[in-house]
Amino acid sequence: MTAFLPLRAHPLGEAALCVSDGGRFFAGPAGFLDRLAGDALTGDDRAFLIREGHLVDADDALGQAAHAYNLAERLTRAGPLDYLILVPTLRCNLSCSYCQVSRASVNAPGFDWSGDTLAAVLAMLDGLEADRIKIEFQGGEPTLRPDLIRAVMERCESHLASGRLAEAQFVICTNLQQLSPEILELLDRPNLYVSTSLDGDVATHAKNRTGGDAATGVFFENLRAVIDRCGPEKISALPTIDPLDPPEAEALIDAYAGFGLESIFLRPINYQGFARKRHRESREQGAAWRAYYERFVRAVIARNWADRRRVLEETYFSICLRRIFQPGADRHVDMRNPNPLGVDYIVVDHDGRVYPTDEARMLSRAGVIDLAIGDIFSGWDTPARALLNAQSTNQFDPACQRCAFQPFCGRDLVDDIARYGRIDLPRPETEFCRKHRHLFGFIFDLIYDDDPAVRWSLSRWLRLPGTPPALGVRLT
């Protein structure tokens, strides 16, 4: 009989992490690696591997089916179009130094949807096959055009009323510089959420985004007003961090916790838009950023342990943690394998052009490369889309095939193009790979950490009802 071991190893402290192609894993002693390499497994090794589902025997049809099922769970299957990023205007009433979308001035003409573009977007909504839709309004500053937001929402709500849509969720990504009665009426709708930027305390936020006292004061007043009116669950906020001058982790956590915001998506400045000139160092993140990131997550863990009435998290850590234990639980479109582009998710720009991702839109606006796959009028099932999708997997990359984290990882062509102007660099030479090898390595360090505080936070981030005695299996 022929058996095979679809395993990959990675150093884990003094032990070896072993991960199967389907994402199941265990930690073993270093000596086990020598036995693996030398094809000299002991009887106990084989019994363990069989018991844990890592050894796939050619005569075991059920085992083979289980292995294939585990593998299939890790692969993305794109459904119908059900996630839209709509950019009704590229105009903005702020001018952040790191603006990734290269916003247009608040009074600039020609950067809003035309009447024809709105009509085409509404026609697209009428033709959706999915029975659920999530729409994110981006910009610029979308609240400069509440009429366009309302038109889209009302069209979706008419489909909800008719039963053609079962669910519609909306997000407005806004700098909260203005809260007109019209905007507040939109925010009162239960299926609409707000995403905003909160870079830290007042001084940090002002330095990065709002500049003077007036605009800064308006933002914090409006943020408090929305939370008081609608509850903290209405809002998600994200900081943009300058890795060269990051805020103290505790101060950043305080800034969020003070508003009742429990999920903090730690983002370094994105190498897009204005940042490509004003923050050139953002192209790569180095050891200093990764050390800061670890300090931040450990600070969150300590906070959670000190006060277990509330669970704080670093959002992306939680997403990647769930990718390990709960494939399919989240649908973070920047982290999928394969990563279908322009299929279940598109971006419709202010001029009606369609992009596969928001970052692709940013690259076009910055004049780096035109990654539009079509437009809202004539469609986007184009050779451009097919060309991107032909490359949008990590499954056959020789480096990824040797990486223990490949089952949990993804592929982001647009990120590679943004940073390097090409998609064929050896994966470990890209920021995407370095970032995720660091992150998954850190996650597994914590999975195998015996500190009860760590286990408590990981269990909460996995949305478990309790805290198991251990989160990872060990071969002793």
Partner 1 sequence: MATAICEAGAEFSTARRAGDYVRLFYPDVSVTVDRKAAQLASDERDAAALRLIWRSVLANEALLARAAAQRAAVIEALLR
Among 38, 109, 465, 466, binds partner 1 (CB under 8 A): 38
Q: Is position 403 an interface residue for partner 1 (rule: CB under 8 A)?
A: yes
Identify the H or E element spanning 15: strand 15-20
Rounded to the nearest whole angstrom, what is the least distance from the CB of residue 435 to partner 1 in the complex? Answer: 14
Q: Is position 402 an interface residue for partner 1 (rule: CB under 8 A)?
A: yes
- Residues 9-28 within binding reach of partner 1 (CB under 8 A): 9-11, 14, 16, 21
Among 42, 114, 180, 401, binds partner 1 (CB under 8 A): 401
Q: In terms of CB distance, is 45 or 182 closer to partner 1?
A: 45
Q: Is position 8 an interface residue for partner 1 (rule: CB under 8 A)?
A: yes
Q: Is position 429 an interface residue for partner 1 (rule: CB under 8 A)?
A: yes
* The pair of three-digit structure tokens given for residue 470, joined into one six-digit string: 């251990």
Rounded to the nearest whole angstrom, what is the least distance from the CB of residue 22 to partner 1 in the complex? Answer: 10
* The pair of three-digit structure tokens given for residue 130, joined into one six-digit string: 């999915």
- Is residue 371 a contact partner of residue 364, using CB atoms and an 8 Å limit? yes
Q: Is position 280 an interface residue for partner 1 (rule: CB under 8 A)?
A: no
Q: How far apart are CA 321 and CA 23, in angstroms?
A: 12
Q: Is position 105 an interface residue for partner 1 (rule: CB under 8 A)?
A: no
Three-state DSSP state, 322: helix
Rounded to the nearest whole angstrom, what is the least distance from the CB of residue 368 to partner 1 in the complex? Answer: 26
Q: In terms of CB distance, is 7 or 192 closer to partner 1?
A: 7
Q: Which stretch binds partner 1 (CB under 8 A): 7-15, 95-103, 246-254, 407-415?
A: 7-15
Q: How far apart are CA 74 and CA 80, in angstroms?
A: 19
b/e map of 444-471 (b: 16 or more CB within 10 Å)?
bebbbbeeebbbbbbbbbbeeeeeeeeb
Query: Count of residues for the chain?
Result: 476
Rounded to the nearest whole angstrom, what is the least distance from the CB of residue 438 to partner 1 in the complex? Answer: 12
Q: How far apart are CA 79 and CA 385, in angstroms?
A: 16
Q: In terms of CB distance, is 142 or 327 closer to partner 1?
A: 327
Binding residues for partner 1, rule CB under 8 A, total: 34
Strands (E), 376-459: none
Q: Is position 205 an interface residue for partner 1 (rule: CB under 8 A)?
A: no
Kindly give the residue spans of alpha helices, DSSP state H, lying in 195-340: 202-205, 213-230, 249-257, 275-278, 287-306, 315-325
Q: How far apart are CA 420 and CA 252, in angstroms?
A: 31
* The pair of three-digit structure tokens given for residue 449, joined into one six-digit string: 């950490």
Q: Is position 231 an interface residue for partner 1 (rule: CB under 8 A)?
A: no
Amino acid at 376: I
Rounded to the nearest whole angstrom, what is the least distance from the CB of residue 172 to partner 1 in the complex? Answer: 38
Please, which residues have CB within 8 angstroms of residue 256's CB and are 6 or more apart in sequence? 198, 237, 262, 264, 312
* The pair of three-digit structure tokens given for residue 447, joined into one six-digit string: 């999975």
Rounded to the nearest whole angstrom, what is the least distance from the CB of residue 406 to partner 1 in the complex? Answer: 11
* The pair of three-digit structure tokens given for residue 370, joined into one six-digit string: 């035109």
Q: Which stretch binds partner 1 (CB under 8 A): 65-73, 107-115, 200-208, 299-307?
A: 65-73
Q: Is position 428 an interface residue for partner 1 (rule: CB under 8 A)?
A: yes
Q: Which stretch binds partner 1 (CB under 8 A): 34-42, 189-197, 248-256, 264-272?
A: 34-42
Quick one: residue 340, left, alpha or beta (phi over 0 = left, psi -120 to 50 = alpha)?
beta
Q: Which stretch binds partner 1 (CB under 8 A): 31-39, 106-114, 124-132, 224-232?
A: 31-39
Binding site for partner 1 (CB under 8 A): 4-11, 14, 16, 21, 30, 33-34, 36-39, 56, 67-68, 71-72, 75, 395, 399, 401-404, 426, 428-429, 437
